[in-house]
Chain A
Amino acid sequence: MIKIKGLHKSYPMGKDSLHVLKGLDLHIKEGEFVSIMGSSGSGKSTLLNIVGLLDIHDVGEYHLNGQLIEKLDEKKAAILRNKFLGFVFQSFNLISYKTALENVALPLYYAGVNRKERLKTALDYLDKVGLKEWANHLPNELSGGQKQRVAIARALVTKPKVVLADEPTGALDSTTTDSVMDLLKEINDEGMTVFVITHEEEVAEQTKRIVRLKDGVIISDEVTNPKVLA
């Protein structure tokens, strides 16, 4: 599903540049539940942004769903993001003036689905994350955990190939963290590829494969639950 070879990324910093990713090799197959661990500033988000087509890499190869990603213009990237990827962010990134239902329905708007269909599908997904009753509430009327579940519903609504989550529990307390992780597990059980970034050991332990990143290189890549992957 995601195939990365010799990936480099630097950010220009005035005259110099900051070399963040220094040659990564990573292969994630369909249906995997992978977490990227690493301390703050180790380049986790940078990697996820490249995988998520929100940013472009400098050197190396990246295949998404068998398609080589290169010379991608904004429009093509937008179409691929809409079709293949679902995002979950640490700070939820819901649109404040839209209700939970409208937020979930938004990716379908960009996919060109008609309004009736959109709202129906969005409501199904809200139901799936247990928030059907909250459909017509605005984000500021929801708790952190609820907001993140709305964001997860939004990430899933277009039936993407991969869900990318950047510190999805970073802003949540331990109980809500567990409920969000349970939800991600459930999604994965249904066959979705899930790619989570975290710096919390307890979160990483709930995934099936942990990739550790340090100073821009992968220092370990281990399967936590060999039975499942076998």
Chain B
Amino acid sequence: MQLSYEKSVPGRRAIALDPLDVPEAVLPAALCRKEPAALPELGELDVVRHFTRLSKLNFGIDSHFYPLGSCTMKYNPKLAEAVAALSGFAHLHPHLSTSPAFWKHCQGAFELIHETEQWLAEIAGMKDVTLQPIAGAHGELTGTLLMAAYHRDRGSKKDTILIPDSAHGTNPASAAIAGFKVLEIPSHEDGTLRLDSVKAAMNDSVAGIMMTCPNTHGLFEPAVAEIADLMHANDALVYYDGANLNAIMGIARPGDLGFDVMHYNLHKTFATPHGMGGPGSGPVGVGERLAPYLPGPRVVKGEDGFELRNLEKSIGRVAAFFGNFMMAVRAYAYMSHLGKDGLRQASENAVLNANYIFAQLKHVYEPAFDLPFMHECVFTAVPQAKKGVRALDIAKALLDRGFHAPTVYFPLTVKESLMIEPTETESRETMDEFCDAMLEIAEAVDSDPESLREAPKTMPVGRLDEVRAARQLNCAC
């Protein structure tokens, strides 16, 4: 498809302002740009068609099953979009929170923040929650900064964070960016983290560990409580990557498991849309140990309504205001509609659906692990790869069959991994159709591998030359 810049016609306009109703002011030429920015010149219908056509080149949840493991691509309720469009939220200036003089004019927003934090705290068994972190990875960074503040406060020089090799890449990246050394702990071949491996890495410099539970293999960590105890016995802390919280809502809570700090992904567990990669929201929850260090300012209930306060030992601000507030509005709508039972049922059905898909595929695709999967199941396409069809080819073949691909090549611990997370919002028919497609592809591995290697054939483009992209580097026109 043509670029908007290629469609540009000199002099064409989409938007006209009213004539300037005050005298025109002129800035000194030395402070001004030489040429106006060469943005496209198009009419409104040109622009509308351009982006409407672009949108049609995409798969989204509303049009396609999107079983991306670890990403929790559940349905994004329209209710949440409707309340996020309320002008009392959408057009509210955040500096109303800066001056106490304005606080009475944003009480509704403060109440929403406060309520959302309370819900999230109870869901995960945490003492307090901050909505400031802007995405999961920013939550990890905030969490590791909280860990650093805790140790600094105690005069300890602990500088290393343990991270299992199955962890998402953001875990080691966040810990490193927070200023920690990262020590990778190997997973056991059954896909779990063993207490022994953590013990072997334990020493005085260990500030804490980052875990995901269920882990990125889709498995509940059997030693999670013992690992937490080991950490606490050594004055180290335990971080919970909440990406997989959708497996255990109402079943188990990170706080009860011994975690000191965690992030939630509102864009996974709480159904806020992924928006082609963002915005998300990564609130951070803390237990007793880290509560004094939470970022501020915090919304608290005062005598005449809600007000802002900073904790004495706060690490400061990680966002300019309250993080991605509008994601909290959506998540609140989601949680309050589902309530106590609905949230638990969401997790139950997420686990049911993943196991249902697993049961249909496990005889044809090789399970990466033998332990029972929770909300996602992981296969290895090594047997197919030996016949010349890699996980990537299977992914592309699914696109031709009308399904988004599962997550492939993550986690890094599984060769040729195919990681499938259906979520609770998919129907049995959709999952059956997906499994049929997977089984048909498995047959084609033997009967017609070439067709899989050439997939996709029905998309707007075939496989693209990524090597050329990286070498020639054309990133703007």
A and B from one complex: no
